[in-house]
Structure 1
Amino acid sequence: MASTTLESEVRPSPTPGRTFLGHPRGLATLFMTETWERFSFYGMRALLVIYMTTEATKGGLEVPAATAAAVYSVYNAMVYLLALPGGWIADRLLGARRTVALGGLIIMVGHFMLAVPNKGFFFAGLVPIAIGSGLLKANISTMVGQLYDKDDDSRRDGGFTIFYMGINLGAFLAPLVIGTVGQQVDWHLGFALAGVGMALGLVQYLLGSRHLSPASNVVAAPMSRDERRAVLRKAGIWLAAAAVFYGVVAGTGHFTVSWAIWPLSLAGIAIPALVFARIRRDRDLTGEERSRMGGYLWFFVAAAVFWMIYDQSGSTLSVFAEQNTAGSLFGFDFPSSWFQSLNPLYIMALAPVFAWLWNAAARRGRNPSTTAKFAFGLLMIGASFLVMMLAMAAASGGVKVSPLWLAVVYLIQTTGELTLSPVGLSVTTKLAPAKYASQMMGVWFLAVTAGDCVAALAQLLLGDDVVGSTGYFAVQGVLAVAAGVGLFAARGRIGRLMGDAR
């Protein structure tokens, strides 16, 4: 019944006539929604660890650097983990359009909670931002695809390119605006600006929703009343148990941030393992699909190692930027949060170059294999932390090093990202078993969750004496380089597991 409805009532293009850069007008709505959402997300992220580690006399929370880094890591991990239930809610309960609206509203509330000058409100505000991001992130890309009548619409790839430019535009502008206000005017005003950004995105989304595809309103696999009651009952039991447990811990005066980080981090590592175990044990999979999943596991672990290091751009690298890096270059002064704009700037500049390189190599029959690209990405992310090792050594004795150190680090990391992240999305679709075709993108995001959770546990265990030290960067850099070399050496075995998928 649902498939018939989709074909007969949903497939026609929404609001034909005026277009946005030659694309359906709904793309403008989604482009601006994602731009404002990323503006709020990356603006808050640019301030998060710096604010937590700043002395109380300067308006900060004076949280130890290792703890602040762990909070950031597990928060980022939860954003990607919650994309899984975010997609489920759209498919079974609300539909993508309403789920994105709800996500935007919850994100906005979270940002305004961060703006309240209260430590409890601040940490509590991270929860709705993570939940809302999971709801929005899981569904807005799907809605872009729904704008096009057919899968072979020649405009589809171009539409996604424009959409992803919105992501990087918001990420680029956010630290320049929100970071400047937060660091140089008032921390909480900066967080409030992130909330205003999300509010603007939500308003224009609601006003422009009439241009979206009718498919975005469809609940693909609606739950029966009995199913809904069962889910609500189970969710209520788990929430009540968590509330009672943490209520007792807090009431007895034993609660610290570690009580939140440890369970979430362990869950963020266990859940991907359980997901893979469930898929591999599924008897509906053919022998070829099982083999391909064996090959995919190599890429998943490699991606987890990559994101474990890459996502520290907002934590340990932010601390280094604030405490060990000069805030001026060629006579121009700027706040440390501006370094967070380098990655999206590099992506916007280099993504077309890499796309051209892969196409040119393919025409000559010399396009590197997926395994080789992943290995190169690991080598680059490892090299970036080896450069950080040198930068940290140069900063010994309280010396403020040149901003060019971090500019080079972010450039190397972006180069690695462009060889691993888009390729990972592609290989996920190629190796996905037919039964799990729509779920595998969520599985790919679990690599971010796993990597960030490993980083969070390591940061808590190592403490301030080690986190951010020369040895800290050196060990992770060597680990990633060794992983890249090992992956490249195993390319023959991985290729056999992949079969004819390349």
Structure 2
Amino acid sequence: MASSLTKDSPGAAAEDTAFFGHPRGLATLFMTEMWERFSYYGMRALLVMYLVSGGADAATGSQGGGLAMTAATATAIYSVYVAMVYLMAMPGGWFGDRVWGARKTVMIASFVIVVGHLSLALPGQVMFFVGLGLVAIGSGLLKANISTMVGHLYADPKDVRRDGGFTIFYMGINLGAVVAPFAIGILGEKVNWHLGFGLAALGMALGAVQFLFGSRHLSQESSRVPNPLSSDEKRAVVTKALLGVAVVAAFYLLVNFTGVFRLTLNWVLVPIILAGLLIPVAVLVKIKRDKDLSGEEQTKMTAFIYFFAAAAIFWMIFDQGASTLSLFGDSKTERNIFGWDMPNTLFQALNPGFVMLLAPVFAAIWLALARRNREPSTIVKFAIALGVTGASFFVFLIPMGLATGGTKVTMWWLVLIFLMHTVAELCLSPVGLSLTTKMAPAKYASQMMGVFFLAVTAGDSVTGMLAVAGVDLNSSGVVVFEAAAAALAGVAIYLSRNKVRGLMGEVR
């Protein structure tokens, strides 16, 4: 798995044009990410439907064999799962930086994901939750390190191919996400749930194998541990980890055997949800109060908190595409297209498909406006994203009002909502990632991307908490509340644009 030394020097890297003018290693990372996203989005498309299958909230005539849970419980589990994937990105980055190096961490993560999907492919509730946990851990480990390795391919800071390389890599993400519902989704929904989960395992296994054999084309930098733990630090980490495991085990054993409380699924979900809400806040407070930061870095962090809060509200609504919207589409939409009954899981292909179609259009629009000195500032783009997101759930009220008394509505309402979500995403997600790299304090330069991902954790944790509390997320009152929250947040951040710009310094 060692890389050729000739490929690690800046000069040699610049001469490596084997993959569409880019280093050969980009093909390895492109395919790994494509297969990982294939497995992740395919399983995600099935998750909520599988959980409610066989129960009272399943669609009429749907396939049996699921876990017969309520819609509220299924939504809570889905939200916790997504929150954990992004929460694990921070320790994933830590393992890459201090324990294994990026390349080894991605290799280990790939096999953890494969084992997780294989566990999901086996019947039984225990294996299901084991599999879900393994996929979340593996996805977090991989997500934090694979993008870092793309950067390693371009050792020369002046290599003009860097941005183009990340664009190609980003297309791999969306290609896997688009294909997954057509393969994993249809197989799981229409044939057998566990065959669908098994296909996700096969996809990730293909990604892991090609990464294993293709990693010789990666930069040697990807194998290096940038800041390895000392012997004392290793002992301290192991001691703290064992202590944490012991405390958690003792708590649940106490709950289970004393009989004072009945051990239910909420005993697992609620602590994770609370962690998903508290950890992002704790991380932001820790960085904000760091006395090593300069005055300029402190003010930029204050501005960053505005963007973080806006992103959390956005993801709270956006990620309901595979839960709230999926459940509505499953039972209350008419999906007949020229005599073909479209599987519900194919709704999950809309967002990545729209991203692939619209991302070049948005890039061209921003560039054209910039040439005229009329491109909206980052804060205005975030305000637009929140406004469109809020409007999408106001639109959602229309089909909800029409789908009463067993009446089914046309599927095109959901297509419109997913389109609106994609427009909002393109105004917020890539812009937010770019902004994070510009505003990161020097001390936290490699960690801030994980901090921005915590906005996803926070947003999904809010959804999970509502679901655990028994709130019907498909009720008009809740949809109005979420839509109004996003719209009002968009207005508030727009009205605060001058203040935030002042805090951002030279960053725009």
Q: TM-score range by the shorter chain?
A: over 0.9
Q: Is 2:443 the partner of 1:452? A: no
Q: Does the CA contact (< 8 Å) of 1:299 and 1:374 recur in 2?
A: yes
Q: Is 2:257 the partner of 1:257? A: no
Q: Residue 282 of structure 1 corresponds to which residue in structure 2?
A: 290
Give how far 1:330 is off.
3.1
Give how far 1:248 is off.
3.5
Q: Is 2:422 the partner of 1:423? A: no
Cα distance between partner residues in 2 of 1:55 and 1:485: 43
Q: Residue 47 of structure 2 corresponds to which residue in structure 1?
A: 48
Of 452-461 and 166-175, more deviation after overlay is shown by: 452-461
Give how far 1:250 is off.
4.1
Cα distance between partner residues in 2 of 1:69 and 1:118: 19
Q: Residue 114 of structure 1 corresponds to which residue in structure 2?
A: 120
Q: Which amino acid aligns with 2:76?
A: A
Q: Which amino acid aligns with 2:303?
A: G
State the aligned residue count: 495
Cα distance between partner residues in 2 of 1:290 and 1:360: 33
Q: Residue 227 of structure 2 corresponds to which residue in structure 1?
A: 221
Deviations 1:436-466 (A, max 9, x none): 1111111100111111111110122143xx2
Q: Does the CA contact (< 8 Å) of 2:100 and 2:225 recur in 1?
A: yes
2:411 to 400, 403, 412: 403
- Percent sequence identity is 55
Secondary structure at the aligned position of 2:309 is classed as helix
Q: Is 2:166 the partner of 1:160? A: yes
Give the aligned CA root-mean-square deviation in angstroms.
Answer: 1.8
Q: Does the CA contact (< 8 Å) of 1:389 and 1:471 recur in 2?
A: no
Q: Is 2:78 the partner of 1:79? A: no
Q: Residue 24 of structure 2 corresponds to which residue in structure 1?
A: 25
Q: Which runs of 4+ in 1 moved over 3 A?
A: 8-18, 247-253
Cα distance between partner residues in 2 of 1:427 and 1:467: 32
Q: Which amino acid aligns with 1:225?
A: S
Q: Which amino acid aligns with 1:394?
A: L
2:372 to 364, 374, 385: 364
Q: Is 2:66 the partner of 1:67? A: no
1:104 to 99, 110, 114: 110
Q: Does the CA contact (< 8 Å) of 2:14 and 2:159 recur in 1?
A: no
Q: Residue 360 of structure 2 corresponds to which residue in structure 1?
A: 352
Cα distance between partner residues in 2 of 1:482 and 1:105: 44
Q: Which amino acid aligns with 1:133?
A: S
Q: Residue 280 of structure 2 corresponds to which residue in structure 1?
A: 272
Cα distance between partner residues in 2 of 1:38 and 1:128: 15
Cα distance between partner residues in 1 of 2:249 and 2:12: 46
Q: Which amino acid aligns with 2:241?
A: A
Give how far 1:14 is off.
6.4
Q: Residue 60 of structure 2 corresponds to which residue in structure 1?
A: none
Q: Residue 182 of structure 1 corresponds to which residue in structure 2?
A: 188
Q: Does the CA contact (< 8 Å) of 2:302 and 2:503 recur in 1?
A: yes
Secondary structure at the aligned position of 2:410 is classed as coil
Q: Does the CA contact (< 8 Å) of 2:99 and 2:228 recur in 1?
A: yes
Q: Residue 326 of structure 1 corresponds to which residue in structure 2?
A: 334
Of 322-331 and 478-487, more deviation after overlay is shown by: 322-331
Cα distance between partner residues in 2 of 1:192 and 1:120: 17
Runs of at least 5 residues in structure 1 that lack an aligned partner in the other structure: 1-5
Give how far 1:247 is off.
3.2
Q: Which amino acid aligns with 2:118?
A: F
Of 428-437 and 84-93, more deviation after overlay is shown by: 428-437
Cα distance between partner residues in 2 of 1:121 and 1:11: 47
Give how far 1:124 is off.
1.9
Cα distance between partner residues in 2 of 1:201 and 1:224: 33
Give how far 1:391 is off.
1.3
Q: Does the CA contact (< 8 Å) of 2:116 and 2:134 recur in 1?
A: yes
Of 427-436 and 59-68, more deviation after overlay is shown by: 427-436
Q: Residue 3 of structure 1 corresponds to which residue in structure 2?
A: none
Q: Residue 58 of structure 2 corresponds to which residue in structure 1?
A: none
TM-score, scaled relative to structure 2: 0.94
Runs of at least 5 residues in structure 2 that lack an aligned partner in the other structure: 56-62
Cα distance between partner residues in 2 of 1:304 and 1:87: 21
Q: Which amino acid aligns with 2:283?
A: V
Give how far 1:244 is off.
2.5
Cα distance between partner residues in 2 of 1:55 and 1:82: 32
Of 179-188 and 276-285, more deviation after overlay is shown by: 276-285
1:306 to 293, 311, 314: 314
Give how far 1:12 is off.
6.5
Cα distance between partner residues in 1 of 2:135 and 2:284: 27
Give how far 1:16 is off.
6.2
Q: Is 2:168 the partner of 1:169? A: no
Secondary structure at the aligned position of 1:455 is classed as helix
Change (3 A) 1:271 1:398: same
Q: Which amino acid aligns with 2:181?
A: P
Q: Is 2:233 the partner of 1:234? A: no
Cα distance between partner residues in 2 of 1:311 and 1:12: 43
Give how far 1:435 is off.
1.5
Deviations 1:204-248 (A, max 9, x none): 000101001100000001111221111011101101221222234
Q: Which amino acid aligns with 2:247?
A: A
Deviations 1:464-485 (A, max 9, x none): xx22122221211111111101
Q: Is 2:343 the partner of 1:335? A: yes
Q: Residue 381 of structure 1 corresponds to which residue in structure 2?
A: 389
Q: Which amino acid aligns with 2:353?
A: L
Q: Which amino acid aligns with 2:125?
A: K
Cα distance between partner residues in 1 of 2:161 and 2:439: 25
Give how far 1:190 is off.
0.5
Give how far 1:13 is off.
4.6
TM-score, scaled relative to structure 1: 0.96
Secondary structure at the aligned position of 2:140 is classed as helix
Cα distance between partner residues in 2 of 1:305 and 1:9: 42
Cα distance between partner residues in 1 of 2:99 and 2:416: 46
